[in-house]
Amino acid sequence: MLQINNVMVPLDTTDYQKVISQQLNISKNKIRDVKLVKQAVDARRKNKVHFVCSFTFNIDNEDLVIAKRPKLQLTKVKPYNYPVLKATDDHIVVVGSGPAGLFCAYNLARAHQKVTLIERGSAVDKRKNDIDHFFKTGKLNPESNVQFGEGGAGTFSDGKLTTGVKDYRKRFILETFVEHGANDDILYSNKPHVGTDYLINVVANMRKIIQKNGGTVLFDTKLVDLELENNQVKKIIIEKNGQVEKMSVDKLVLAIGHSARDTYEMLYQKGLEISQKPFAVGFRIEHLQSFINVHQYGKFASHPRLKAADYKLAVKTSSGRGVYTFCMCPGGQVINSSSEEGGLVVNGMSNQARDDKNANSAILVTVGPDDFDSDHPLAGVSFQRQLEQKAFELGGQNYHVPVMRVEDYINNTIALTSEEVNCSVLPAVKYANLNELFPEPINQALKEGLQLMEQKFSGFTNQAMLSGVESRSSSPVRFYRDNNYRSNITNIYPIGEGAGYAGGIMSSAIDGLKCSEILLKEESCI
């Protein structure tokens, strides 16, 4: 099989066999089994927006075809299968069913390893009801919400699967998503995204495979304590429906995400080595998606083969702080992603079609130990919590989200009432002065950053709406682990975003898979 890369394809063209035949100057009927394997939009020239694609195909005399066309990006490819490894005798407990824990447990179960996956939040159907109830009433369930529950923080999200991490496991992850219900365009899109409406089914289907292969999955079950002996965990203490029980473990994988602050505290008290880590805070910014489409695609903005456009901006401010956009959700909604009573945090989600009328993105500035005013390993968590409590207050202490127009934020004036606001934020908004949210150096950086972005993206700050606070863009801590993923307590394996080793769904899933491979290759250390 051959692969050809970097092929320019007009937006309206779908006869890929013909496209390849023209590239190779070989008749169409000699080219077989054509498959689109990568598709990106090139919109650098607004009068000539087109796709850039890679295809695989079969053809006779592959070596000759390559040798005669040195200017084309042609390579031989062979299909890759992610191997199934052999199980050990260990009982492995994975805590947390987000992408890191889910892929770890899934791969362990594929090998028929004895594995128990425990999740403090609810199974996805009940979780969805809890979240809908929160969006309707403002009544938060602190154990079943946008952060906690089956599938972790990534389930009620945009489901973007982009990552800067280069790793061959990405293919297996994409194929697993498709096998369990994601749209197969994620296999070729250069910016794959699944969407909340599909993710809900994907995570439930993956869980069913874990169970089918002999794994145990326990929802509404929280890790609350550890019994240690000789620097190893012997038993974990779990809480389910107010009942506490003990469970023996040989190896404990911690895939707890970055929002389980009570669990961070417990692990710190138990002596797990944790250190501070810089992270980023800021707002969500919302625009009309039609405005973003026109800016990015020009006259092709409403072309039926182009999806809702995205953008990515990064600027450096005079104080040296970088300000950047992050986790942009085309055609999506800003949602109240709180998980703690009395604290409010926002994030963005979208469905597979990305057809809501607004676009949203985080707009962030990095914060670090200098901002935390303490050397305590969990000082970043306290910093986040203070911001979230302030956002809760600004919203009126009922989980209404504080919002403000960019120009009002920059000028420090309140010009609208809550009723005049037109944005997607759930469950409801309160027009408030977001200048009160951050310490002044952060406000200054964000304001300057927004103005610099306006210079790069004309109209970016015009009529755009900010909501806050976006404080959980990444983990405020890092757990120590060695090259074999072992923490200082040697049968504990911290993984994923909460442990400080991943950022986003794809890299967390990769980390989970890598951990499962290590566990399957190791003999018990007990």
Ligand X SMILES: Cc1cc2nc3c(=O)[nH]c(=O)nc-3n(C[C@H](O)[C@H](O)[C@H](O)COP(=O)(O)OP(=O)(O)OC[C@H]3O[C@@H](n4cnc5c(N)ncnc54)[C@H](O)[C@@H]3O)c2cc1C
Query: Which residues form the interface with ligand X (CB under 6 A)?
Result: 95-101, 118-121, 146-149, 152-154, 156-160, 222-223, 255-257, 260, 263, 327, 335, 337, 347-349, 496-498, 502, 504-506, 508
CB closer to ligand X out of 21 and 157: 157
CB closer to ligand X out of 120 and 514: 120
DSSP 18: H
CB closer to ligand X out of 148 and 297: 148
CB closer to ligand X out of 138 and 348: 348
Amino acid at 202: V
Round to the nearest angstrom and report the end-to-end CA distance of the chain: 47
Query: What token pair was written down for 186?
Result: 């994620």
Contacts of 309 (CB under 8 A, 6+ apart): 43, 289, 292, 293, 295, 296, 297, 301, 330, 359
Q: How far apart are CA 343 and CA 469, in angstroms?
A: 10
What helix, strand, coil percent values describe the chain, rounded to 5?
30, 25, 40
Shortest distance in whole angstroms from residue 459 CB to ligand X: 25
Shortest distance in whole angstroms from residue 289 CB to ligand X: 16
> What are the DSSP calls for 31-87, one per residue?
-EEEEEEEEEEE-SSTTS-EEEEEEEEE-SSHHHHHHT-TTSEEEE-----PPPPPP
Which residues are paired to 284 by β-bridges? 362, 467
CB closer to ligand X out of 79 and 164: 164
Q: Which among 444, 446, 517 has a CA at the least distance from the CA of 103?
A: 517
Shortest distance in whole angstroms from residue 11 CB to ligand X: 25
Shortest distance in whole angstroms from residue 253 CB to ligand X: 11
CB closer to ligand X out of 449 and 504: 504
Amino acid at 516: S
Q: At residue 121, what are phi and psi to the nearest 5 degrees? A: -85, -175
Contacts of 156 (CB under 8 A, 6+ apart): 128, 131, 146, 196, 199, 335, 337, 349
Radius of gyration of the chain (CA): 24
Q: How far apart are CA 505 and CA 509, in angstroms?
A: 6
CB closer to ligand X out of 244 and 414: 244
Shortest distance in whole angstroms from residue 515 CB to ligand X: 11
DSSP 144: S
Locus of tokens 């026109």? 294
Amino acid at 244: V
Shortest distance in whole angstroms from residue 360 CB to ligand X: 10
CB closer to ligand X out of 287 and 447: 287
CA atoms within 13 A on the CB side of 307: 22
- The answer to whether 11 and 47 have CB atoms below 8 angstroms apart is no
Shortest distance in whole angstroms from residue 247 CB to ligand X: 12
Instruction: With H, G, I as helix, E, B as strand and everything else as coil, classify residue 371.
Output: helix
Shortest distance in whole angstroms from residue 504 CB to ligand X: 3
Shortest distance in whole angstroms from residue 194 CB to ligand X: 8
- The answer to whether 161 and 505 have CB atoms below 8 angstroms apart is yes
Shortest distance in whole angstroms from residue 271 CB to ligand X: 17
CB closer to ligand X out of 156 and 300: 156
CB closer to ligand X out of 92 and 335: 335
CB closer to ligand X out of 160 and 514: 160
> What are the DSSP calls for 428-470, one per residue?
-EEE--GGGTS-HHHHHHHHHHHHHHHHHSTTTTTT-EEEEEE
Shortest distance in whole angstroms from residue 97 CB to ligand X: 5
